[in-house]
Amino acid sequence: MPLYKFISPYINYNCYVSKIIALVFAITQSFYLSKLNKDFIFIKQRTFLHALIFLIILSSSIFTQYAIPALIANFFVLFSIDWLYSSYKKNKPNIELFNAGFMMAVAGLIYFNAFILITALFISYMILHSFKFKEFLVIITGFIAPIFILIGLLFLNDTLFLFKDEIIKFITDAKYNFKMDLSSYMFYGYLLFILLISIFKIMSVYSTKKISSRTFMSSFFIFFLVSLMSYIIFPFVGIDILVIAAVPISYIITDGYVNSKNSFISELNFALLILTLIFAQISFNFQQWF
């Protein structure tokens, strides 16, 4: 995508620079997750566990350990979510909704698959607000604004048709076939197991939560579901979508942990998750060496 092409030569000078920048970006985003939780109180207990889980997920695959488009775009996905949640309980949230749509489009201009998340943004809007066509139109206007700006710039530079051909080729030719070894299946399988347990725990205490907390957690579940379904349905969506999915996953799992009545079981589950991650990394490096 054009915006990533512009910055790629500077952040992917070599593999070591790319990894260092990716680490800095990942840590920065993990702090931003804490900032969001402090502002909107998804999880009432003070904890940095969601930030740690986010970093664990991002470090789980060799493909997500570099300064890839999804990692850069994830900043703007977080900005979009921040603006969307800031619109909650406001009488005239036009500025917040416009910015939410705008930021999601910018994310898509860096990482094409982020465009799919506009679906999650629309559904989340209807969860947070009673539907108003004017507000819905504001989100759409914010979303298409940077796209039209880009189209205008590409047209002036006589590269619009080249960009169109690249997008068509990406959608029609990209056939990701991400093969994992047994250790990776163990990690992601166990992560999914913990996620499902956390969802059931949240559902069991759902009625006791504040209305705002229930609303925000429902929105996170939608973002996770859209990310998962896009990976399953679209052949051009690769494992890099995990970077964006890591945001709702980290909040859901953390909420499940803090609501657990058995601290020993929770700590054991988390320890096993760390062990499966270490095993997966050792297994991958062993295969690379030999």
Rg of the chain over Cα atoms, rounded to whole angstroms, equals 19
* CA angle, residues 166, 172, 175, in degrees to nearest 5: 110
- State the helix-helix crossing angle for 118-128 and 133-156, rounded to 10 degrees: 160
Tell me the pTM.
0.92
pLDDT at 154: 86
Average pLDDT over residues 9-16: 82
pLDDT band for 12, please (50, 70, 90 cuts). Answer: confident
pLDDT at 174: 64
pLDDT at 122: 95
What are the b/e assignments for 118-148, b being 16+ CB within 10 Å? bebbbbbbebbbeeeeebbebbeebbeebee
pLDDT at 75: 96
Residue length of the chain: 290
Nearest to 270 by CA among 260, 280, 282: 260
pLDDT at 119: 95
Show the tokens assigned to 94. Answer: 């036009």
pLDDT band for 179, please (50, 70, 90 cuts). Answer: low
Give start and end residues of each alpha helix (H) in 41-132.
49-58, 69-86, 94-110, 118-128
Q: Which residues contact 216 (CB under 8 A, 6 or more apart)?
A: 40, 42, 85, 88
Nearest to 80 by CA among 54, 43, 107, 55: 107
Average pLDDT over residues 78-99: 93
φ, ψ of residue 128 in degrees (nearest 5): -80, -25
**Average pLDDT across the chain, whole number:** 88
* CA angle, residues 125, 128, 134, in degrees to nearest 5: 50
pLDDT band for 180, please (50, 70, 90 cuts). Answer: low
Question: Which stretch of 52-56, 117-121, 281-285 has the lowest confidence by average pLDDT?
Answer: 281-285
pLDDT at 285: 64
pLDDT at 288: 57
